[in-house]
Amino acid sequence: MAAPVEITPVGLVGDAIGDMENYGGPDQAIYLFGAPDSEWWSEELGRDLHPGTFGENLTLSDLESAQAWIGDRFAIGPVVLKLTALRIPCVTLAVRMGGPTFVKRFRRSERPGLYCRVIREGEVRVEDPVEHEPCQGEQIPALEVFKTFFEPNTDERVLRRFLSASIAVRAREVYERRSALTVARNPDARSLN
């Protein structure tokens, strides 16, 4: 990206999202990927990866998604982004990467990239400094939220913890349904500390 790119509350200007039912929107406006994760994938796949291979909007040089927390903020030049979710592998990604087995491979890698809400919009440039501001609320590792997405029998306390954070609407809906099912199966689960 040589020219400035404009970021709005719903994403990058000019970015086309193929599946609006599952991606995009204010809570998943920007998809960040880290250069260390991209380099890892390049080695893992045995080939060079071009920017945007995973559908990411921006690649940050020092970002490792496994070390991020829900609610972390990233200031890139004038733009401020807030982490709300991680990329859940899908059919579109599998097709792009060569087949259905890639979904499991992506999941096992624990290098999903980060979805962010736009707190302050503006233009970003390649040379803009990036400042990472850790979450000021409850510390919920983003990777824990990612792993739990694939575990249908999650403890009610864990689900309530996630629901107390500023997670993306789509993730919130999944965890609310699971919470309701957990309580329906075990009414005493709601009273557990």
Residue 85's closest CA among 70, 106, 107?
Answer: 70
Q: Which helix (H) or strand (E) holds 11?
A: strand 11-12
CATH number at residue 73: 2.40.33.20
Q: Flag whether 144 is in a domain.
A: no
Give the pLDDT confidence score for residue 193 in this predicted structure: 46
| pLDDT (tens digit per residue) in 117-172 | 999 999 999 999 999 999 988 889 999 999 988 888 888 889 889 898 888 888 88
Q: Flag whether 86 is in a domain.
A: yes
Sheet strand arrangement including 30-34: 58-60, 30-34, 114-120, 79-86, 73-76, 130-133
Q: How many folded domains does the chain comprise?
A: 1
Question: Measured between alpha carbons, how far is residue 94 from residues 58, 129, 174 in Å?
Answer: 20, 33, 22
| pLDDT (tens digit per residue) in 92-112 | 888 888 888 888 998 899 999
Q: Flag whether 65 is in a domain.
A: yes
E-assigned strand segments in 39-89: 58-60, 73-76, 79-86
Q: Flag whether 156 is in a domain.
A: no
Q: Flag whether 27 is in a domain.
A: yes
Residue 85's closest CA among 148, 38, 132?
Answer: 148
Domain, as residue range, for 14 = 5-137
Q: Flag whether 162 is in a domain.
A: no
Q: Determine contact, residues 120/77, Cβ cutoff 8 Å.
A: no
Q: Flag whether 153 is in a domain.
A: no
Q: Provide the token pair at 119.
A: 């707190």
Q: Flag whether 142 is in a domain.
A: no
pTM for the model stands at 0.87
